[in-house]
Each structure stands twice: as structure tokens, then as C-alpha cells.
Amino acid sequence: MTDVAARFRTFLTEAPHWAALLAQVPAKHVLRHDTAHPAFHGCIDWHSACHGVWALLAYQGLTGDTQYEPIIDSILLPTKQAAEAADLAARPQFEMPYGRAWFLRLALEDRRVTGSTRLTFFARDIAASLTSTYRNRLIDPFAREYANPCWALINLLDYAEIESRPDITDIVRDAAGGMAKALERLPTEADEDSWPDFMAVTPMLCELLVRSGAAEVGAVMDKAGARLRALKPITAPRKAHHYALNFSRGWALLALAKSSGDDTLLASALDHIEQNLHHPSWWRGDYRSVSHWVPQFGMFAIQRAMRQASPR
């Protein structure tokens, strides 16, 4: 066993502890009434409320702990979700694509963890709205923050797998293929470091290309490998959104490490994730700046690590 593999095993033994701590935060915040939305009214905004509920489901799926089930069920009541679906149908650009992608993540997690079909029809409408956005369109792979297409397409890809929708898988692969040439014009490291983004733009483009089958992992690593291996964790966040960037880099690097077998990427993923976990004020501190959303990013990174080690 390599040193990195041993380190990963140690991380996995600690991961349920971290997942429990992370879940405590959205468990409080999803119940707040920060907005007038019928179901997703906590966590300051709609998308953060969505991924807050997702995080509770993810925690249940990873640990078997059902303590948050009553909270989840109270928010995912059919009457509330029908009202949310009607609202999104009436406002086709609302939360497009970012929040809608998170809703797909929530729906696929609910299906995976509970076996419920309560979100099926709402999720189909959301998936249709996203596929119509990305089908046969020119897409900017470096669109930033909430407009980032790679995050939306990755969620569509995972949703398609859970729902056995090869038609959606094909749409994602085609959209990703149209972005493959962007590997020739990656933003400079200095440029990307200067952005206030919470999403890891270059790593997630690489993840999408590889996982969708739009590009071979070797070709992606030839173009972007040096950039990816040079990434260093943020140790002094300069902007509010930087408090989650280590987590989003970490989860993308985990996917790429799995696909490529590159221990350097695995070590970097752990460096990024642990940097944030060991600074709890970065994810359970100020409500407006961090605690309404950053723990959910941490949960996604933890989930990816645990599922890569022992898929469920």
C-alpha cells in the first residue's frame, strides 16, 4: 500500500465523524424562514436550501443515521413540492442552471437513499429545462459561479444514471464534447486564483470531460495535468466564496484521481478537503457568509470520498 493510499484509508475512518458535524449545520438552517418559498425557505436562498436538504439525505445514506428524516420529510411533502414545481415552471430562468442542478442532486439522492419517487416528476421537468439549455448550444466552459455549465452537466450525468436515461447521458456527452477544445485555452493559474469563485472551474471541466466520456483521461491529463497537480489549498480566503473552493476542488480532484490512478491528485484532494475541515469557522461560522451553504460542499466532498472507496 502506498503512503497516499494509507492516508486515504485513515481519512475514510474519520469521514463519518466529519459528516456528522457537517450535517448538524444545515439541519438547523433548512428550517428557517428566510424566504417565502413553500419548501426551500431556509439557508438564505433557494439553492442553498435545496442542497441543505440534500446534505441531510447524503448523511443518512453514508451513515444509516435517520435522525434527520423528520426534517427531510417535512420539507419534501408533496403539496410543498407541487407548489415549488409550479413556481419554477412559471419562471423558466429562476435558478438556471445552478439551483436546478442542485435540485437534481437532491432528487437523485432521495431516490438512492429512501427509494422514494416523490420528487420524480418535478425532477423530470427540471432535467428537461436543463437539457434544453445545453442541447445543441455553444457553451462557455469557463462561465463562472452560478452560470458554470460543468456543474450542471455533472449533475445531469448522475441523474441520468440513477433514472436510467441514456438520452440525457448522450446530451451531456455531446455538450461536454463541444467544450473539449477549451483544454487548449485554459485560464492561467494567476487568472483563476484571482476569481472569487466557489466552483473549481478547470478541475470540474476536466472531471466532466472524463466522466462523460467526451475525452480520454490520458488526453485530459496531457493538457491539464500539470495545472491540476500544481493546485494548492487556499489557506487564507480573501473572499466569501473562497471558503468553499477547497471542497469543490477536492471533489473534482477525487474524481480525476480515480479515473487516472494518479496518487498526486489523490493527495492534493485530501490536502484541499482537510484544510477546510480543520477550520470549522470556515463552515459553521457566520451564517450569512459561510454556514448557510459551505457545510453542504463539505458533505459532497466527504460523500465522494466514501463512495469512491465503497460504492453504494
Chain-centroid distance, C-alpha 34: 23
Residues 6 or more apart whose Cβ sits within 8 Å of residue 271: 232, 233
Give me the number of domains the chain comprises.
1
Question: What's the grid cell of residue 269?
Answer: 484532494
Instruction: Write out pLDDT tens, residues 209-218.
Output: 999 999 999 9
Q: Which one-letter amino acid corresponds to residue 179? A: M
If phi over 0 gives left and psi between -120 and 50 gives alpha, with beta otherwise, what is residue 132? alpha
What pLDDT shows up at residue 310? 57
Cβ 172 vs Cβ 160: under 8 Å: yes
What pLDDT shows up at residue 312? 43
Question: What's the grid cell of residue 239?
Answer: 473572499
What are residue 116's phi and psi, to 5 degrees?
A: -75, 150
Chain-centroid distance, C-alpha 50: 12
The candidate with the shortest Cα–Cα distance to 220, out of 192, 182, 251, is 182
Chain-centroid distance, C-alpha 39: 21
Q: End-to-end distance of the chain based on CA atoms, in angstroms?
A: 24
What pLDDT shows up at residue 1? 66
What pLDDT shows up at residue 311? 44
Q: Return the percent helix, strand and coil in the chain, to nearest 5.
A: 70, 0, 30
What pLDDT shows up at residue 60? 99
What does the DSSP 8-state code read for residue 178? Answer: T
**Intervals of the chain under pLDDT 50:** 311-312
Cβ 289 vs Cβ 243: under 8 Å: yes
Judging by beta carbons within 10 Å of its beta carbon (0-12, 13-18, 19+), is residue 46 exposed, middle or buried? buried
**Host domain of residue 183:** 3-309
CATH number of domain containing 117: 1.50.10
